[in-house]
């Protein structure tokens, strides 16, 4: 029996952008839209055009990009909002009207009859201007069911093509959501959508429950972005529907990790390592019994193959590591350690882990090299670093690095002195390799006026992703050390591979 296809509306660039501190530029929005389209998202809610001229420009550029997805604009129950959306050349409007008595009385100061009149007029106006209309009821889960059905029916009678019930502040649990959607799906004759938030940590569960109750479309955001505790996460819903139920989506699951990283960088909000599906730890294993099991048969400790969502399996070396993982990693690198060498590497890694340290890839590799008598050559060395920063001065850094027999000099600017220094080093590195910085964070800071800061960076050369650490009383030097330690590690490994 063929699986039923569930439509996906992504609202990362509208509801997701309502995350405090998140604001996408027009260029970032266009990049995200292209990636979402490539992923196979059916409907892209590109933004709320009444927000600003910049928002309208961004939405219009997406609408005119020639994407396969339906490009949608958020509007309120106002003809003026529809006019602004029309100026953005969108295909559809997500027309949202509050329906709960709480919202009507306290926010809109409006009666139910007044809301019905506005809803009918706005739906008709949008349809008369050849827009697809998806009518959403805000705060549906605190709305009288019969009135909710009536509002939807009024929109449908005018010609609205889809309707959506919103659990705006997560006021229902999964069994309640499923019951509500079972009722609605029997009483509306157009596709029914679900829009859930994660205030109680059940956004994904509620969305799936709504689908099981009859919803044909899900509203989601990449990485679960959204105000308060966020919206339902796209990556969690589409994978769960595919893995556990007789549903499918039009999305290419292998692109989930890629879109997650793109949105993470644009939003400036790091994805927690423990985030389901796309977090760095989602397919990472450290505990000895787990690494032993996953090496013997991946399904022992992995619900799906990491490649299914564009991820890679990673064995982490720390206080819980087992000797099987160490042997496996050394073998993968073409090394043939003795039993005594394995034991010594095992001991040193455990010792570092017991001190409460994250054992980075570069540190683990250095331990292995030392124990096996392979000295790491510093292929790139810092000769000089100058940083200028201050009030009304653009932070600028200049570096002189020694690469083989050459002195290489570059300068960089940034939003701060650390950013400027890293940008300067990145310019030099780009001249000799394809290594780029993927992630930066401060791992630890000791107390006191003589505090030591530890910086951990994640670097990639396109084939491998490694972590590296730098420590110093100066955060700029700690950052530079972390970068150069990682770059040297990748270049050294590449030299050993002969590639």
Q: Which residue, 371, 406, 431, sits at the end of a domain?
A: 371
C-alpha–C-alpha distance, residues 263 and 441, integer Å: 17
Question: What is the per-residue pLDDT for 281?
Answer: 82
Residue that is last in its domain, among 326, 348, 371: 371
Q: Is residue 273 part of a domain?
A: no
397 and 473: one domain? yes
Please tell me which residue, 254 or 287, carries the higher pLDDT value: 254
Alpha carbon separation from 325 to 60, 227, 240, 295, 345 (Å, rounded)? 51, 41, 30, 8, 11
Inter-residue contact 407 to 380 (CB < 8 Å): no
The mean of the pLDDT values for the chain is: 89
Distance, CA of 17 to CA of 14 (rounded, Å): 5
Query: Measuring CA to CA, which residue among 122, 108, 181, 174 is closest to residue 148?
Result: 181
Q: pLDDT at position 442, please?
A: 83
Residue range(s) defining the domain that contains residue 478: 380-497
Residues 197 and 58 reside in one and the same domain: yes
- 25 with 126, same domain? yes
- Judged against a pLDDT cut of 70, whether residue 447 lies above it is answered with no
Going by pLDDT thresholds of 50, 70 and 90, the confidence category of residue 300 is: confident
276 within some domain: no
Query: Is residue 48 a part of any domain in this protein?
Result: yes
Residue owning tokens 């509007």: 75
What is the reported pLDDT for 413? Answer: 92
Residue 287: pLDDT band with limits 50, 70, 90: low
Rank 189-203, 268-282, 392-406 by mean pLDDT and report only the highest. 189-203
SS3 content of the chain, % helix, strand, coil (to 5): 45, 25, 30
Q: Is residue 105 part of a domain?
A: yes
Strand-pairing partners, residue 381, are 402
Higher pLDDT among residues 109 and 303, named by residue: 109
Same-domain check for residues 353 and 403: no
Domain identity same for 423 and 310: no
Distance CA 19, CA 39 (A): 23
Which tokens sit at 248?
């499918």
Do 248 and 293 have their domain in common? no
Q: Do 291 and 412 reside in the same domain of the chain?
A: no
Q: Which two tokens stand for residue 499?
A: 């590639």
In this structure, is residue 216 part of a structural domain? yes
Specify whether 325 is located in the same domain as 363. Answer: yes
For residues 82 and 146, membership in a common domain is answered with yes
Query: What's the burial of 334, exposed, middle or buried (CB within 10 Å: 0-12/13-18/19+)?
Result: exposed
Strands, sheet with 453-460, edge to edge from the N-terminal-most edge strand = 436-445, 453-460, 465-472
- Clarify whether residues 172 and 226 are in a common domain: yes
Domain CATH code at residue 198 = 3.20.20.70
Q: Tell me: pLDDT of 267 over 90.
A: yes
Per-residue pLDDT for 322 more than 80? Answer: no
pLDDT in tens, 117-169: 999 999 999 999 999 999 999 999 999 999 999 999 999 999 999 999 999 99
**Same domain as 241, residue 135:** yes
The reply to whether 125 falls in a domain is yes
- Confidence at residue 131, expressed as pLDDT on a 0 to 100 scale: 98
* One domain for residues 115 and 259: yes
d(CA 123, CA 218): 21
In the chain, how many domains are there? 3
In a domain, 319, yes or no: yes
Span 335-358, pLDDT tens digits: 788 888 888 888 887 777 776 666
pLDDT at residue 286 tops 70: no
Domain boundary among 354, 371, 388: 371
337 within some domain: yes
Where residue 446 falls among pLDDT bands split at 50, 70, 90? low
CATH at residue 441: 3.30.160.270
């Amino acid at each position: 029996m063929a699986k039923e296809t569930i439509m996906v509306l992504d609202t990362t660039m509208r509801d997701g952008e309502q995350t405090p501190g998140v604001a996408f530029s027009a260029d970032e929005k266009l990049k995200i839209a292209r990636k979402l389209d490539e992923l196979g998202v059916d409907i892209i809610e590109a933004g709320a055009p009444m927000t600003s001229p910049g928002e309208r420009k961004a939405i219009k550029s997406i609408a005119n990009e020639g994407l396969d997805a339906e490009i949608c604009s958020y509007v309120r129950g106002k003809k003026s909002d529809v006019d602004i959306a029309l100026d953005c050349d969108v295909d559809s409007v997500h027309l949202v009207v509050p329906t709960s008595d709480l919202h009507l009385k306290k926010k809109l100061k409006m009666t139910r009859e007044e809301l019905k009149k506005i809803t009918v007029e706005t739906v008709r106006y949008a349809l008369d201007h050849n827009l697809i209309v998806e009518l959403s009821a805000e705060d549906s889960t605190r709305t009288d069911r019969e009135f909710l059905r009536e509002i939807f029916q009024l929109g449908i009678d005018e010609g609205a093509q889809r309707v959506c019930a919103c659990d705006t502040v997560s006021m229902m649990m999964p069994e309640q959501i499923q019951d509500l959607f079972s009722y609605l799906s029997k009483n509306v004759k157009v596709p029914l959508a679900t829009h859930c938030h994660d205030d109680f940590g059940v956004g994904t569960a509620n969305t799936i429950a709504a689908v099981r109750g009859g919803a044909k479309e899900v509203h989601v955001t990449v990485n679960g972005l959204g105000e308060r505790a966020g919206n339902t996460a796209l990556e969690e819903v589409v994978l769960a529907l595919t893995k556990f139920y007789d549903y499918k989506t039009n999305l290419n699951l292998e692109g989930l990790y890629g879109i997650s990283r793109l949105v993470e960088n644009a939003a400036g909000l790091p994805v927690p390592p423990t985030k389901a599906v796309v977090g760095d730890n989602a397919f990472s294993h450290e505990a000895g019994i787990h690494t032993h099991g996953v090496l013997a048969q991946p399904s022992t400790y992995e619900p799906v193959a990491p490649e299914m969502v564009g991820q890679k399996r990673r064995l982490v070396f720390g206080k819980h590591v087992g000797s099987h993982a160490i042997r496996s990693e050394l073998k993968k690198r073409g090394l043939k350690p003795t039993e005594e060498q394995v034991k010594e590497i095992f001991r040193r890694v455990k010792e570092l882990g017991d001190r409460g340290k994250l054992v980075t890839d570069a540190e683990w590799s250095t331990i292995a090299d030392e124990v096996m008598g392979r000295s790491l050559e510093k292929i790139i060395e810092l000769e000089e670093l100058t940083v200028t920063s201050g009030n009304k001065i653009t932070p600028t850094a200049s570096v002189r690095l020694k690469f083989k027999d050459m002195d290489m000099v570059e300068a960089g600017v940034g939003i701060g002195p650390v950013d400027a220094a890293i940008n300067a080093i990145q310019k030099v590195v780009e001249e000799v390799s394809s290594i780029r910085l993927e992630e930066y964070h401060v791992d630890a800071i000791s107390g006191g006026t003589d505090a030591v800061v530890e910086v951990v960076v994640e670097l990639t050369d396109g084939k491998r992703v490694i972590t590296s650490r730098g420590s110093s009383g100066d955060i700029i030097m700690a950052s530079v050390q972390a970068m150069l330690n990682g770059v040297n590690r990748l270049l050294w490994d590449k030299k050993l591979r002969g590639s």
